[in-house]
Amino acid sequence: MLVDSSGKEKQDTIVSKDEVLRIVFEGEIATISSALKIGYELIDEEENLVFTSLCTDPSPSDWVEFKLGSNKIASTIPVHLLKPGNYTISIHVSLHHQKWICHSGQQEVRLGFCVINGPETSPYLDQSSGAVAIANPFYQI
């Protein structure tokens, strides 16, 4: 599910570049495995992969500690880096090099949203080349 900065489920699919958007994964774990990978692929409206984000991307000391039973984890989607447009989130859950639990080929594990410019967005940013629109500040030296 997609939630806002307060953790409330998003009721619409339009997200401003200056909003916080998180994806929440919730489920039951019957057996603990260090091979468990949960995350998502972000795909643009032309079906290009923008990026993949998995709970095992950071250093192992920063991985989520899953427990037996009910688990709920979240990840912030960096919408401030995205160009305006429609995006699809494809859920990825697997045991690394062992088994897919759900993956991008399954349509029922997809979520969608639309990014729009916020009031502070540069009018030139969405016309830049590349998959993302990074407003990296410049300064006098």
CATH of the domain at 49: 2.70.50.60
Between 129 and 99, the higher pLDDT residue: 99
Residues 2-8, mean pLDDT to the nearest whole number: 91
Residue 36 CB neighbours (<10 A):
20
| Residue 86 maps to a domain | yes
Which domain, by its residues, includes 46?
Answer: 2-127
Measure the CA–CA gap between 81 and 51, rounded to whole angstroms: 11
Q: Which tokens sit at 19?
A: 């909003």
The dihedral of CA 27, 30, 32, 35: what is its sign?
A: negative
Looking at the structure of the chain, the number of domains it has is 1
Residues in the chain: 141
| Residue 110 maps to a domain | yes
- Residue 19 exposed, middle or buried by CB count within 10 Å (0-12, 13-18, 19+): middle
What is the pLDDT, as a whole number, of residue 131? 72
Measure the CA–CA gap between 18 and 115, rounded to whole angstroms: 10
The residue among 133, 113, 130 whose CA lies nearest residue 16 is 113
| Residue 100 maps to a domain | yes
User: Which pTM value belongs to this model?
Assistant: 0.83
pLDDT(40) > 60: yes
| Residue 140 maps to a domain | no
Binned at pLDDT 50, 70 and 90, residue 105 comes out as low
In this structure, are residues 2 and 9 in contact, taking their beta carbons and an 8 Å threshold? yes
| Residue 141 maps to a domain | no
Q: Which tokens sit at 130?
A: 């590349």
| Residue 136 maps to a domain | no
Residues 130-138, mean pLDDT to the nearest whole number: 77
Q: Helix, strand, coil proportions of the chain in percent (round to 5)?
A: 10, 45, 45
The residue among 40, 127, 125, 120 whose CA lies nearest residue 87 is 40
